[in-house]
Structure 1
Amino acid sequence: MASSSLGFAESRQRRTAQVLLFVTPALFTANMLLARATADFIPPVALAELRWTGVVLVLLPFCGRELWRARAALRRDWARYALLGLLGMGICGAGVYHGAATTTATNIGLIYAVSPVIIILLSRAMFGERLSRRQGLGAALALTGVLVIVLRGDPAALLSLSFSTGDLMILGAAISWALYTVLLKRWPDPLGVQARLTAIALAGAILLVPLLGWELASRGAPHFDLRTIATVLTLVLVPGVGAYATYSYITEHLGPSRTGLLLYLSPVYTASHRSIPPCWRGCSSARRLPSTTGSARRSSCRASSSPPTSRRRPESPALGGPTPARAAALGRAAAALRPQGPLRPARADASRPP
């Protein structure tokens, strides 16, 4: 009787993990989009530090007692938590935010789609985990499907893809994430999902402190306004608490190789973000327009078609980004929305490169 109840509970947990396979990538996608949208007003290390400190503060009231009871295990295995914090919160946190300044959200999702392959290779090399032929074929088909969707069925679009130093940093973060996933499953832990995430996040936040000090000395502190606070809260609750907790749950019940397959959905969700009401894109475009009045910013934020004029590299046309002609047309439309008077003529704005 007890064994049947245990089997039913395990079956229910596996079904829950299989459902979360489709939810978790959407939570991670929020991190990729916000990493790109906030690259010019929140320094990367400060953003990562705020995110993981916030995660610790949110989860600590729910698992503080469990952490206190397991303090002997925490002291014994502190090196493991430090390494997981470095891989999952340090490199995969500040590294992604730093690389996002010179790449696109779609490129981030596309590069992270390589993580499942890296997870499979690491699991086999480090722990001898075998993947069946059917699972390997499924992984190959999933990666092919991602490429077809992102490239819109045009293989020639691969020739026009451009990669920057930011893309290389994202690739390093993807490798770090793969190693984090494998070790998360293979290292036994007495803590529950929330308590373990809290311990790892705390370790990552502590390890980021020296880099934070260097960044504050060289770039200064971020300006805390409503936009910054909303960004940090979103990162804490959605890709911080939500995505990492569900990812840990899936890894525990399905294993690292199968869990890694969910990352194939990230570039699909990221590439389709243009169909979602573009609040973040519109507001970020508004702050980069050369307007000198608050009303002009609010008008351009409501008109979410305003083109960005920042110095960052625009998205590649092969990945759905704006072409120069389309950006110029959108520039003329945005200029028409701005009030006349002390602002420069619309022709001068429209002539600026996108």
Structure 2
Amino acid sequence: MRSIWNSAWSLLALANLFWAGNIVLARGLAGRVPPVTLAYLRWTGAFLVAIGFAWPLLRRDLPVILRHWKMMLLLSATGIASYNTMSYIGLTSTSALNALLLQSATPLVIIVWAYLLFREVPSLRQAAGVLLSLCGVAAIAAHGSLQVLAHLQLNRGDLWVIGGLAIYGIYCVMLRRRPKVHPLSFLVAAMGIGSCMMLPFMLMELAAGATIHGGATSWLGIAYTAVMPSLVAYLLFNRGVELIGAGPAGQSMHLMPLFGSILAVIFLHENLQRFHLLGIAMIAAGILLASFRREQSSVQRNVIAPTRSSS
């Protein structure tokens, strides 16, 4: 386990696998679980699961967290409350495939925010890797056909997802400024704050007549979102950012469309075709190119040191 905890790309791959499952599942729950309610139950459930065994760490780190309350509010609002709620709203009117494809814009969003907030410029190799991975995602989304790619359209749901990604980019870049506490302490605190932020919007949604349908299947889906893509995936991703920085960690987001395609093969019985293999190869090559260590960019070097935990 220690070797995995110190292997950034193992952690990031697992995080993106759980997030891909979350997108596919959230699309399946659309119409049965209201989106804001799903986001609230996801993070409240994750907080309740984690607080029991995280409490000793959180109690120790609470003074540091309180001293950085402004940063905690920013990170909770961007990484927990806004991003996930907007994504779930988007998934009520767009396909899981579109949402997965749009995730590939995350590395570009991170690069833009890193420049706007910290005037950091990516290396040529990193930019080339992002572009290559984007081409791989496009190959999967378009089924290897330029004609299909040309007719892909953005709808209202896609715009919600894009807005959520733009906000999530702030979270990824600002993680370097998070309090220097244990990763689990930070995550549990952020989940608790984010849940409180979502509560009034969830109550407004329920007051408007929204209800949960689907019985045990819907509640099992909610339980999955509360554990794997929330508590587990965020802990893994935050550790990945700590190890290699926001830029290359953001590049791992290209794995989500890849894993989403694999999940569709397994659970939806879709056929794995040549364009899937082409896209997978291009995504992998782009990730390797962007994360090549010998030409580590200033973005990566500047991110790593400030985000290391003191414990």
Instruction: Give the match's secondary structure for 1:24.
Output: helix
Q: Conserved in 2, the CA contact under 8 Å of 1:47 and 1:232?
A: yes
Structure 2 equivalent of residue 341 of structure 1: none
- The answer as to 2:237 corresponding to 1:247 is yes
Q: Is the aligned partner of 1:193 residue 2:183?
A: yes
TM-superposed deviation, 1:228: 2.2
Residue 17 (1) aligns with residue 8 (2): yes
Q: Which runs of 5+ in 1 are unaligned?
A: 1-8, 279-303, 306-318, 320-354
Structure 2 CA distance, aligned partners of 1:32 and 1:18?
A: 21
1:167 and 2:158 aligned: yes
The count of residues paired between Structure 1 and Structure 2 equals 271
Alignment partners' CA distance in 1, 2:18 and 2:42: 14
| 1:141 counterpart letter in structure 2 | L
Q: Is the 8 A contact 1:99 1:165 kept in 2?
A: yes
User: How far, CA to CA, are the matches of 1:37 and 1:120 in structure 2?
Assistant: 32
**Residues 92-101 or 156-165, more deviating:** 156-165
Deviations 1:137-165 (A, max 9, x none): 11111111111122122112122212210
The residue aligned with 1:267 is 257
Does 1:228 pair with 2:218? yes
Residue 44 in 1 paired to residue 35 in 2?
yes
Structure with higher RCO (Cα < 8 A, 6+ apart): 2
Q: Does 1:276 align with 2:240?
A: no
Structure 2: distance between partners of 1:277 and 1:170: 24
DSSP-derived class of the 2:260 partner: helix
- Opposite residue 199 of structure 2, the aligned amino acid is V
Q: Is the 8 A contact 2:21 2:263 kept in 1?
A: no
2:75 is the alignment partner of 1:89: no
Q: What is aligned with 1:32?
A: 23
Aligned to 1:142: 133
The one of 107, 124, 127 aligned to 2:115: 124
SS at match of 2:7: helix
CA-to-aligned-CA distance 1:271-306 (integer Å, 9 cap, x gap): 33321134xxxxxxxxxxxxxxxxxxxxxxxxx89x
C-alpha change, 1:222 and 1:149, in structure 2 (3 Å) is closer
Task: Name structure 2 gaps, 5 residues minimum.
Answer: 271-275, 277-311
Structure 1 residue 269: Cα displacement: 1.9
Counting aligned pairs with the same residue, the percent is 28
Q: Are the counterparts in 2 of residues 52 and 204 from structure 1 also a CA contact under 8 Å?
A: yes
Contact 1:35 1:96 in 2 (8 A): no
Task: Tell me the secondary structure at the aligned position of residue 201 of structure 2.
Answer: helix
- In 1, the alpha carbon distance for the partners of 2:200 and 2:51 equals 23
Tell me whether 79-88 or 98-107 shows the greater mean CA deviation. Answer: 79-88
CA contact (8 A) 2:65 2:179 kept: no
Q: Distance in 1 between matches of 2:102 and 2:244?
A: 23
Cα RMSD of the aligned pairs, angstroms, is: 2.2
Distance 1:187 1:35 in 2: 31
Contact 1:25–1:263 (CA<8 Å) still a contact in 2? Answer: yes
Q: Deviations over 1:51-88 (max 9, x none)?
A: 10111111111221222222222222222222211111
Aligned mates of 1:100, 1:14 — CA distance in 2 = 32
Which structure has the larger Rg over C-alpha atoms?
A: 1
Superposed displacement of residue 128, structure 1: 2.9
Q: Could you tell me whether the CA contact under 8 Å between 1:193 and 1:249 is conserved in 2?
A: yes
Instruction: Return closer, same or farther for 1:226/1:180 CA change in 2, 3 Å cut-off.
Output: same
TM-score (norm 1): 0.72
Which runs of 4 or more aligned residues in structure 1 lie more than 4 Å from their structure 2 counterparts after TM superposition?
A: 12-15
Aligned to 1:289: none
Task: Report the TM-score when normalising by structure 2.
Answer: 0.81
